[in-house]
């Protein structure tokens, strides 16, 4: 990629009234494993880099997003560099050499740097990664984090882990959220979407490592589907569907789609589900699955986490035990209840996203802009 790639995702300074304000130059550098050509398809990069960059660009700032492999090409001299999921290695060394005067901030949205909880890491529980590989990965993240004095994280539990492992650091919570682009897309899809032909329960795995999260509620899902043959379960992600053999005619293997097409998928759901095994890693997860569903009026049934509790409303149904999932699904069969939950989820998600788009004070506080 050529040199202009370093400013390809840049945004110019905003102007209030007739007076241009002092410009702060902010550079997001993502260490996404998808690389520079496909980083925009990584949901974590969207939430932690592109979305806040769009908000910050409206607040007297020049903002750009680049990949760590391209930091040596950057012609910007930033005041602040936010390293998204930094890992130890030559690319991080280059970042520190390239921007010696910049204020350096490390940003994490998952518990990637903690070696004490690896036995409950999704990749370990799924058997898709060895302990040695996970230890190596966690070590790279922890070594990188040790070079920073300032952090931003997506949830309160993550903040507590940072403060425990790096007690002399400063850490701010910058919640995940959606701004004006997602809101506009939600309105456009709302106007164009065709009516659902069948009710669909949608599960978005994210990665294959989360198959155990779904399997823990497979019995309740099978029972509900057997009792309701007009309802389907659509599963997105690399999940073995063997546990749903008894209801295979009602189980759909969702096609893989680019992240920017996600709104057209979630809008078709009757309800979205987000089961999680109760582990330190999962408790650090953000509430973004609720916002994603709620913006399109789709209720969410979810395992309660710290960040989801922050969103509590009638459109967010918590399920702690196996039977809770069966009961919540049956509750939504009542049209009036579903309509009420749909309205509540939409209102709550719109409020959260409007706050994110208009002020997003947490970003301003984190970088004192």
Please tell me the distance from the alpha carbon of residue 193 to that of residue 18, in angstroms, as a whole number.
41
> Which domains are seen in the chain, by residue range?
3-177+358-367 (3.40.50), 180-354 (3.40.50.2000)
Contact 332, 199 (CB under 8 A): no
Cβ neighbour number for residue 38 with a 10 Å cutoff: 13
Which are the contacts of 93, defined by CB distance < 8 A and separation ≥ 6? Answer: none
Instruction: Supply the pLDDT for residue 69.
Output: 96
Task: Assess contact for 62 and 10: CB atoms under 8 A.
Answer: yes
Taken as a whole, the chain contains a residue count of: 369
Task: Enumerate residues 6+ apart whose C-beta is below 8 A from 237.
Answer: 203, 204, 205, 206, 207, 208, 210, 211, 254
- 360 phi, psi to nearest 5 deg: 40, 60
The pair of structure tokens assigned to 282 is 């999962």
Give the Å distances, CA to CA, from 341 to 76, 132, 201, 354: 47, 45, 15, 20
Looking at residue 16, what is its pLDDT? 36
Given the structure tokens 């043959």, which residue do they identify?
A: 229
pTM of the model: 0.88
Residues 353 and 295: their CA atoms lie apart, in Å, by 9
Q: Can you name the residues that pair with 150 across neighbouring β-strands?
A: 105, 170
Helix (H, G, I), strand (E, B) or coil at 118: helix
Strands 15-16 and 19-20: antiparallel
Kindly give the parts of the chain with pLDDT less than 70: 1-22, 123-129, 179-196, 206-209, 357-369
Question: Rounded distance, CA 114 to CA 121, Å?
Answer: 10
Residue 73: phi and psi, rounded to 5, are -90, -10
Helices marked H in the chain: 35-38, 43-45, 51-56, 90-98, 122-125, 131-145, 156-165, 180-192, 211-215, 218-227, 262-266, 280-283, 288-294, 306-309, 322-331, 335-358, 361-367
CA distance linking residue 143 with residue 141, whole number of Å: 6
Cα distance from N-terminal residue to C-terminal residue, the chain? 31
Report how far residue 163's alpha carbon sits from residue 153's, in angstroms, rounded to the nearest whole number: 11
Q: How far is CA 241 from CA 61, 78, 125, 269, 272, in A?
A: 48, 48, 17, 19, 18
Predicted local confidence at residue 163, as pLDDT = 97
Tell me the Ramachandran region of residue 227: left when phi exceeds 0, alpha when psi lies from -120 to 50, beta otherwise.
alpha
Q: Which residues contact 192 (CB under 8 A, 6 or more apart)?
A: none
- Compute the distance between CA of residue 27 and CA of residue 25 in angstroms, rounded to an integer: 7
Backbone angles phi, psi at 151, to 5 degrees: -135, 150
Which of 40, 23, 45, 59 is closest to 360 using CA atoms?
59
- Look at residue 357 in the predicted model and tell me its pLDDT: 67
Of 304, 296, 330, 301, whose CA–CA distance to 316 is shortest?
A: 301
């Amino acid at each position: 990629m050529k040199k202009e790639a370093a400013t390809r995702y840049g945004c110019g300074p905003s102007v209030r009234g007739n007076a241009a304000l002092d410009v702060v130059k902010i550079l997001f550098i993502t260490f996404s494993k998808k690389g520079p050509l496909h980083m925009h398809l990584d949901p974590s990069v969207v939430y932690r880099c592109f979305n806040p960059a769009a908000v910050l660009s409206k607040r007297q700032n020049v903002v750009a997003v680049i990949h760590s492999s391209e930091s040596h090409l950057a012609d910007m001299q930033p005041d602040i560099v936010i390293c998204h999921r930094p890992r130890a290695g030559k690319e991080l060394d280059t970042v520190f050499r390239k921007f010696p005067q910049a204020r350096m901030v490390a940003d994490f949205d998952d518990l990637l740097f903690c070696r004490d909880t690896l036995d409950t890491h999704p990749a370990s529980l799924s058997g898709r990664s060895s302990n040695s590989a996970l230890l190596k990965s966690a070590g790279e993240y922890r070594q990188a984090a040790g070079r920073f004095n300032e952090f931003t994280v997506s949830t309160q539990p993550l903040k507590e882990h940072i403060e425990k492992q790096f007690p002399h650091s400063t850490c701010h919570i910058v919640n995940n959220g959606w701004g004006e682009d997602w809101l506009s897309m939600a309105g456009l899809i709302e106007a164009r979407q065709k009516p659902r032909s069948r009710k669909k329960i949608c599960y978005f795995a994210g990665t294959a490592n989360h198959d155990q999260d779904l399997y823990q509620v497979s019995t309740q899902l099978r029972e509900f589907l057997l009792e309701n043959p007009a309802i389907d379960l659509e599963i997105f992600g690399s999940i073995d569907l063997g546990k749903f053999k008894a209801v295979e005619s009602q189980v759909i293997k969702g096609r893989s789609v680019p992240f920017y097409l996600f709104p057209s998928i979630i809008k078709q759901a009757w309800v979205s589900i987000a089961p999680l095994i109760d582990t330190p890693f999962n408790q650090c997860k953000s509430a973004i699955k609720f916002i994603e569903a709620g913006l399109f009026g789709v209720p969410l049934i979810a395992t309660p986490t710290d960040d989801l509790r922050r969103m509590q409303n009638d459109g967010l149904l918590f399920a702690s035990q196996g039977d809770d999932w069966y009961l919540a699904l049956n509750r939504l069969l009542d049209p009036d209840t579903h309509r009420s939950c749909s309205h509540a989820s939409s209102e709550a998600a719109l409020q959260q996203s409007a706050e994110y788009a208009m002020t997003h004070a947490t970003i301003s506080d984190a970088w004192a802009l």
